[in-house]
Amino acid sequence: MRAIISRFAPAPTGFLHLGHIVNAATVWRETRARGGRILLRIEDHDRQRSRPEFEAAILEDLAWLGFAADGPPVRQSERGLIYEDALARLRARGLVYACACSRADIAEAGPKGPALHAEIAARRNRRPDPKGPALHSELEAANCRPGPFGPGVGDAELRYPGTCRDRGLPEKPGFGVRVRLEPTVEHFVDLRHGAQAQRPSEQCGDLLIRDREGNWTYQFAATVDDYVQGVTLVIRGDDLLVSAGRQIQLARMLGRHEPPEFLHHPLIMKSSDQKLSKSDRDTGIRELRAAGWTSTQVIERALSMVSR
DSSP string, 240-292: GGGGHHHHHHHHHHHT--SPPEEEEE---EEETTEE--TT-GGGBHHHHHHTT
**pLDDT value at residue 60:** 97
Let me know: does 299 contact 18? Beta carbons within 8 Å. Answer: no
pLDDT tens per residue, the chain (308 residues)?
689 999 999 999 999 999 999 999 999 999 999 999 999 999 999 999 999 999 999 999 999 999 999 999 999 999 999 999 999 999 999 999 999 999 888 988 876 555 555 554 555 454 444 433 333 333 333 344 444 333 333 335 779 999 999 999 999 999 999 999 999 999 999 999 999 999 999 999 999 999 999 999 999 999 999 999 999 999 999 999 999 999 999 999 999 999 999 999 999 976 555 566 555 555 899 999 999 999 999 999 999 999 76
Beta bridge partners of 269: 275
**pLDDT value at residue 2:** 81
Exposed, middle or buried: residue 109 (CB in 10 Å: 0-12, 13-18, 19+)?
Answer: middle
- Amino acid, res. 260: P
Structure letter (DSSP) for residue 17: B
Let me know: does 306 contact 267? Beta carbons within 8 Å. Answer: yes
299: CB partners within 8 A, 6+ apart: 21, 25, 65
Concatenating the DSSP letter of every residue in 107-124 gives HHHSTTHHHHHHHHHHHT
Let me know: does 244 contact 172? Beta carbons within 8 Å. Answer: no
